[in-house]
Amino acid sequence: MHLSLILLHLAGAVMLLLYAVQIVRMGVESAWGGQLRAMLRAAKTSDLRAALGGVTLATMLQSSTAVAILACGFATSGFLSVPTGLALMLGADLGSALVARILSIDLGWLVPAFLFVGGLLHLKVSSPLLQEIGRMVLGIGLILLSLTLIGSATGPLRESALPANVSDYLAEDYLTAFLIGALFTWLIHSGVAFVLMLAAFATHGLLTLDAAIPMILGCNLGGGMIAFWLTRGMATDAQRITTGNLLFRSGAAIAALAVFEATDAGIETLGSTSATAVVNFHLAFNLGLVAIGLPFVGAVARLTGRMHPGSDDPSADAEPWRTPSALDPSVIDTPRLALASATRELLRMGELIEAMARPVMSLMEDGDRDAIARTRKIDAEVNRIHTRIKLYLAQVNRGQLSEDEARRSIELTDFAINLEHAGDIVAKHLLALADKKVRTEWQFSPAGWAELTELHQKLMDNIHLSLNVLVSQDHPSARQLVREKQRMRDMARRTQDLHLKRLQDGTPESIETSGMHLEIARGFKEMNSLLVTVAYPLLARSGELLDSRLSQDQAAS
């Protein structure tokens, strides 16, 4: 087989592997996104618990980078300290290595079963949860299939001297192998996929252990670079977490490379085959990193604090949400580009709404009036963005727009109005209630607090989903968002009924906070209804949205 054809087959197999890993992560996030974020919130109680939470999250999401993005979002909102975020990331790196170890087991005989069961659940079952579980199972089947395809694609190379020569060279030049591992991991944005690919090469004799180990160490450096790169524009605390994680991974990887080059480390004893030894070494490296690094998260957090001065530094910007506008006046005459620019700015507006809404329950519980005032300030920026978007789109509409472009402009304007209203609900209603709770020192009943917390978490999940629909224009996500509106309505009705039942039973806390409980639940439900509107135009165009909720006879009359 010609070399170019071999490389084409190999590239296709690798892309299938990357896509399959993403499918599994999307399924987990859709099915259990709320529980994962609740687990992340609970991780802040101790560094050890944070590390264990990181292991669990990365194992479920099959990506330490996904955990990093979640952790950075919580750190930006003030829910996660930098040392806890670093401990979480150490655990996430270990969880990612554990995923690679599990998936490296030879389960090729299960591929047809995974594909059949996963496809059946995802395509033929009406339950949203089972659909997402089916997506996960399908993704695992595709991962195993892609590893088989990598073996088939590299089959002709086993008879060539080229792979052996390249492997021998890399075994002698540890630094080049290390840099290749770091660069390739960063390029494909998946450490799990790269480790599995190296294991597949080692299985088929295309890569020796001496060449694979430096590449594994480079992979660990590259994995830290991914999160560092993706969060470079985020708030200071987020940058501190990814910078600290990069310092941990790069320092440990370089030190391990020096030891491996200077001594006979006996890596071959880690497994009966080269492939097993490669994956086990990756797992052992990250396990050792957790054990050694966990006691030093505080020191590294202080170091990153000096590297990234933040709100605790008098010279730092006290309002991190103020960032340059994405509205580009130079493309107003090109509607397609102008609408994309407005969408990016609208996405930023939605992220600010999330930043306002996320700490609401914490502010209700902790009663920090300074934090309430800081959160309320964000609403002024939301209002400014809302005004800029409307004026920008008004200028765009004066040009020559196609029918689709004109419709999209109206949709973006409508959603901007709804987001601005959602911000007002937080600033003028929910934060006012938080401030009132501080002054009155009222307490919710445990059951009532749990119900409001559940409602709040559902709202946060739907904020994420609505912003995904805004950008992706994905029909399944839009349908899910509309279904979530009914779930939110049912949850609000349920907490109202249970609250009234507690009033009848004479629960003191429920009597004290009766009006506040119902107002908070109503505020969450109204915000959710405003967010769901982003899905209506998309579903209306595809004929999946009824003009009226009335029955046909009532509508006709």
pLDDT tens profile 235-249: 788 889 999 999 999
Mean pLDDT for 395-410 is 89
Nearest in space to 316 (alpha carbons), one of 234, 244, 382, 235: 235
What whole-number distance in Å separates Cα of residue 93 and Cα of residue 86? 11
Q: How confident is the model at residue 552 (pLDDT cuts 50, 70, 90)?
A: very low
Average confidence score pLDDT of the chain: 83
For 432-483, write each residue's pLDDT tens digit. 888 887 777 777 777 888 888 889 988 988 898 898 888 878 888 888 888 8
Mean pLDDT for 142-167 is 77
What whole-number distance in Å separates Cα of residue 303 and Cα of residue 554? 68
Q: How confident is the model at residue 416 (pLDDT cuts 50, 70, 90)?
A: very high
Residue 313 pLDDT: 40
Dihedral of the CA atoms 16, 21, 25, 28 (nearest 10)?
A: 100
Residue 108 has pLDDT above 80, yes or no: no
What whole-number distance in Å separates Cα of residue 203 and Cα of residue 274? 7
What whole-number distance in Å separates Cα of residue 551 and Cα of residue 300? 63
Residue 367 pLDDT: 64
For 36-58, write each residue's pLDDT tens digit. 666 666 666 678 888 888 898 88
What whole-number distance in Å separates Cα of residue 456 and Cα of residue 524? 7
What whole-number distance in Å separates Cα of residue 242 and Cα of residue 90? 11
Q: How confident is the model at residue 273 (pLDDT cuts 50, 70, 90)?
A: confident
Residue 215 pLDDT: 94
Q: How confident is the model at residue 554 (pLDDT cuts 50, 70, 90)?
A: very low
Q: How confident is the model at residue 314 (pLDDT cuts 50, 70, 90)?
A: very low
Q: How confident is the model at residue 271 (pLDDT cuts 50, 70, 90)?
A: confident
Residue 135 pLDDT: 87
Taking the CA of residue 95 as centre, how many other CA atoms within 13 Å lie in the half-sphere pointing to its CB? 25
Residue 158 pLDDT: 63
Q: Please work out, in degrees rounded to the nearest 5, the angle formed at the alpha carbon of residue 156 by the alpha carbons of 154 and 160.
A: 105
The residues, ordered by sequence, that sit 6+ positions from 324 with a Cβ below 8 Å of its Cβ are none
What whole-number distance in Å separates Cα of residue 95 and Cα of residue 117? 26
Answer whether 63's CB lies under 8 Å from 229's CB.
Answer: no
Q: DSSP letters along 162-218, please?
A: HHHHHHHHHHH-HHHHHHHHHHHHHHHT-HHHHHHHHHHHHHTTSS-HHHHHHHHHH
Of 283 and 333, the structure prediction assigns the larger pLDDT to 283
Residue 110 pLDDT: 80
Nearest in space to 331 (alpha carbons), one of 406, 279, 235, 396: 396
Residue 280 has pLDDT above 60, yes or no: yes
Of 464 and 212, the structure prediction assigns the larger pLDDT to 212
- Of 77-81, 353-357, 501-505, give the lowest mean pLDDT range: 77-81
Nearest in space to 241 (alpha carbons), one of 403, 72, 420, 490: 72
Question: Over pLDDT 70: what percentage of the chain?
Answer: 86
Of 210 and 31, the structure prediction assigns the larger pLDDT to 210
Of 107 and 262, the structure prediction assigns the larger pLDDT to 262
For residue 382, count other CB atoms closer than 10 A to its CB: 25
Answer whether 275's CB lies under 8 Å from 205's CB.
Answer: no
Residue 140 pLDDT: 87
